[in-house]
Amino acid sequence: MGLVTGMCSLPASLDGRPKLLLIDGEWVPARSGRVFDSYNPSNGEVIARLAQGDKEDIDLAVAAARQAFQGPWSKFTPAQRQNVLLKLADLVEQNLGDLSLLDSVDMGAPIGHGLSDSAVETLRYYAGWATKIQGETVPNSNPGSFFSYTLKEPVGVVGAIIPWNAPLSSAIEKIAPVLTTGCTMILKPAEEAALSPLAIGELINQLDLPPGVINIVTGFGDTAGAALSEHADVDKVAFTGSSFTGQEIVRAAAGNLKRVSLELGGKSPDVIFADADLDAAVPGAGMAVFANSGQVCCAGTRVFVERPIYEEFVARVSAFADSLKVGNSLDPETQIGPIVSQVQLDRVTGYLEIGKSEGARTTAGGERLATGDLAKGYFVLPTVFADVNDDMRIAQEEIFGPVAAVLPFDSFEEVSMRSNKTQFGLGGGVWTRDVGKAHRMAAAINTGVVWVNTYLNFDPAMPFGGSKMSGWGNEMGQHSLDEYLNIKAVWINTGE
């Protein structure tokens, strides 16, 4: 442990030395020698300098990943890959305190929320699959002459590009299936929050892994990220981020028609029926928007409330929003930390002004919190906008801040239709005591995940992905492996 901040202390790894790139098993500076600053959003201070990787560094990393893919890594047995995953899980578990602190200080995740062991669980879940990837024998129409079967083979060199809102778990969600399937990778973390992914790189170097299996290149999206997604020797891009950048990735991938999987943005509906248990629905739907300061892809930001309970719900969720403690992410009491950066702060406060000018009624928050010690950080009060209608920008566009749009509805049919009236299809929620209605609504919402009388539950065994502009493919769960595998059909002539 290093510097004491007056709250939790910062990890010792923040020792002032510039962070390097992990290429072919070695920590190296960017070829250009350039670096960039990483900030603590709770106070705007620079906490680290990172290597500014660019096309040249991506080229080196891709070459290393290709060599590793064809070299000793390809000889690892499934059981050996499983062991690698289990060892990495142990190392992440042993270092979870520091890794969580890094996310807390780098992107503002409140430290008091306790350690999330989802990264460890994810690695152990995938470890189990490493020994269970198998093809099939397939009956063909000429069995006397031909024997036919399929093999599942790793897709090859994977470029993984991740956002800043959950750096540790996002990095692990890409690394785990790569190791499971025998692929190799170049990970490009987000410029705003690369410290925990780099710390995972340190742990990876403690494994018995050939160099070049996992490479990490920090840098900017429009240079390093673009070079990776258009690279002719990358076989697949696994991207998590905004729908806008997802479109850029698809265009860049067209050059060699590499495989693409996309986990993108959302504007998810959370539907509260009049028969719901409001004691559960108020905090549940509230945290579905405000958790991680609203910087959650599947946040339930469009809260549809049935007319008879509309005013009561608005009053109660507004009181809930007002009760949340906003503060420095290293303060153990903090429930809502800062927005990740000045750029995102400006974006979120811009939407607060848009909501007011569109005629929404502000019933909680509605402004930046810039008092005392918090003035230098990027804090926004949990905000509730009532009297929102479907056509307002605050009901259609992803704000990625702690902003709930609360909309009244009158019937099941109406809310079924309106809940799908966006370009996105990521998450959704239903709150009701009527089990039949819960199932009907879960079926009606056109998204990748629906939660009933709960929200934001995740498990490595449950698939996660989006429809429409929210993405292509799934992460987590058994079927996510297919995103990293090619099927090969083999015919054997058994005839004379």
Q: Which residues are at the interface with ligand NAP (CB under 6 A)? A: 161-165, 188, 190-192, 220-222, 225-226, 229, 240-242, 245, 248-249, 263-266, 297, 398, 400, 426, 466, 471
Cβ atoms of 104 and 330 closer than 8 Å: yes
| Site for Mg ion contains 103 (CB under 5 A) | no
| Chosen from Mg ion, ligand NAP, none, partner binding at 220 (C-beta under 5 to 8 Å by type) | ligand NAP
Between 79 and 257, name the residue whose CB sits nearer to ligand NAP: 257
State how beta strands 146-154 and 485-493 pair. Answer: antiparallel
Tell me the Ramachandran region of residue 476: left when phi exceeds 0, alpha when psi lies from -120 to 50, beta otherwise.
left
State how beta strands 214-216 and 184-188 pair. Answer: parallel
Residue 451 bridge partners (DSSP): 429
| Chosen from Mg ion, ligand NAP, none, partner binding at 245 (C-beta under 5 to 8 Å by type) | ligand NAP
DSSP symbols for 401-425: SSEEEEEEE--HHHHHHHHT-SSEE
Please, what is the Cα angle at 236 between 233 and 237, to 5 degrees?
110
Please, what is the Cα angle at 107 between 454 and 397, to 5 degrees?
60
Q: What is the nearest approach in angstroms of ligand NAP to the Cβ of residue 56?
A: 16
Cβ atoms of 293 and 434 closer than 8 Å: no
One symbol per residue from 151 to 190: x for binding Mg ion (CB under 5 A), - otherwise; what is it?
A: ----------------------------------------
**Token pair for 64:** 């290393």
Q: Which of 8, 183, 297, 298 is catalytic?
A: 297
Catalytic residue check, 183: no
How far is Cα 433 from Cα 19, in angstroms, rounded to an integer?
52
Residue from 57, 103, 106, 398 in contact with Mg ion (CB under 5 A): 106
Residue 474 bridge partners (DSSP): 465
Among the listed residues 455, 489, 65, the one whose alpha carbon sits nearest the alpha carbon of residue 286: 455
| Site for Mg ion contains 191 (CB under 5 A) | no
Between 113 and 347, name the residue whose CB sits nearer to ligand NAP: 347
Q: What is the nearest approach in angstroms of ligand NAP to the Cβ of residue 353?
A: 20
| Chosen from ligand NAP, Mg ion, none, partner binding at 471 (C-beta under 5 to 8 Å by type) | ligand NAP
Catalytic residue check, 297: yes
| Chosen from Mg ion, ligand NAP, none, partner binding at 42 (C-beta under 5 to 8 Å by type) | none
How far is Cα 302 from Cα 183, in angstroms, rounded to an integer?
39
Q: What is the nearest approach in angstroms of ligand NAP to the Cβ of residue 37?
A: 13
| Site for Mg ion contains 76 (CB under 5 A) | no
Q: Which of 121, 173, 248, 263 is catalytic?
A: 263
**Could you give the 3-state DSSP secondary structure of residue 241?**
coil
| Chosen from Mg ion, ligand NAP, none, partner binding at 225 (C-beta under 5 to 8 Å by type) | ligand NAP
Enzyme catalytic residues: 263, 297
Chain residues binding Mg ion by CB under 5 A are: 38-39, 106, 192
